[in-house]
Amino acid sequence: MKIRHHPEDALLLAHAAGQLPTGPALVVASHLESCPRCRERVREYEALGGALLEAASPAALAPDALARALAAIDATAGASAPLPQAASAAPRRPALPPGTPWPAALDGCSATGWRWMGPGMYWSRITVPQDPAAKLFLLRIGAGKRLPTHTHSDLEMTQVLYGRFDDGRASFGAGDFDAAAGDIHHQPVVAEDGMCICLASVDGRLLFDGVIARTIGGLVGM
């Protein structure tokens, strides 16, 4: 998988700093799963976070802080080994094509099945339990279909999980990441040879043009 489009470094650094909102953070995290280059960069920025922590001037702690921590450790002494995550019942997920792994970043999230939103177009709402307001969804668009033209009031982030689309600026394939700022007015078109599945997060409202497009926007809940 040749990845051509990466998150910009300021975004990777904000991710390493824990400063991204939930939706964008999960889209970036799913990019990292498929991109060793960005993973290494995030490791560098995390190392920078470590260096900054190291250099921070210490704050005074409560006098009993260490005693409290040791007491907490004693209280769970029986379980001193790290507790393996209990495997919970497999959450409901929309089907992905064979060979396309479900992004590990979305583990713990719930997702609806594929919902129809137009000819050849389906979407699945992803809910992050800790942050239900995060606007995160999967889009599955059929071969040759074009998404309704839209702009956004803020920032749209997309990670291509399968297939390929072209939005007039560039072509995006599996593993590619795209951040479209609010001023970009784009109309992604899916390649003729197969469908395309993307993970997307939108910060502001998606603004679709035209009546049908607005209806779809309403369906998607944006």
Partner 1 sequence: MTTVPQPSEWPAQAARSRPPYLSIVTTQQPRGAPPNGDELSSWLQAVASRQDRQAFAAVFKHFAPRVKAYLMRLGTSEAQAEDLVQETMVSVWRKAVLYDPSHAGVSTWIFTIARNLRVDHLRRKGLAIGADADEGEAEALRDESPQPDELLSTREREIRVREAMRQLSDEQAQIVRLSFFEEHPHARIAQELGIPLGTVKSRVRLAVNHLRRLLGALEP
Contacts of partner 1 in 115-174 (CB under 8 A)? 128, 130-131, 133-134
17 binds partner 1 (CB under 8 A): yes
What's the start-to-end Cα distance of the chain, in Å? Answer: 32
69 binds partner 1 (CB under 8 A): yes
**48: which 2 tokens?**
């920078």
Q: Which of 43, 92, 169, 185 lies at the binding interface for partner 1 (CB under 8 A)?
A: 43
Parallel, antiparallel or unpaired: strands 171-173 and 177-180: unpaired
**125: which 2 tokens?**
């709402």
Instruction: Give residues with Cβ within 8 angstroms of 5, minimum separation 6.
Output: 170, 172, 176, 177, 178
What pairs with residue 117 in β-bridges? none
The backbone torsions φ and ψ at residue 61, rounded to the nearest 5 degrees and listed phi first, read -95, 160
CB of 3 to partner 1, least distance (A): 16
Select from 63-71, 94-102, 169-177, 186-194 the region that touches partner 1 (CB under 8 A): 63-71
Going by C-alpha positions, the residue among 131, 104, 96, 99 that lies closest to residue 203 is: 131
Site size with partner 1, rule: CB under 8 A: 62
32 binds partner 1 (CB under 8 A): yes
CB of 17 to partner 1, least distance (A): 4
78 binds partner 1 (CB under 8 A): no
Please give the residue ranges that form the binding site for partner 1 (CB under 8 A). 8-10, 13-15, 17-26, 29, 32-33, 39, 41-54, 56-63, 65-66, 68-70, 72-73, 76, 80-82, 104-107, 128, 130-131, 133-134
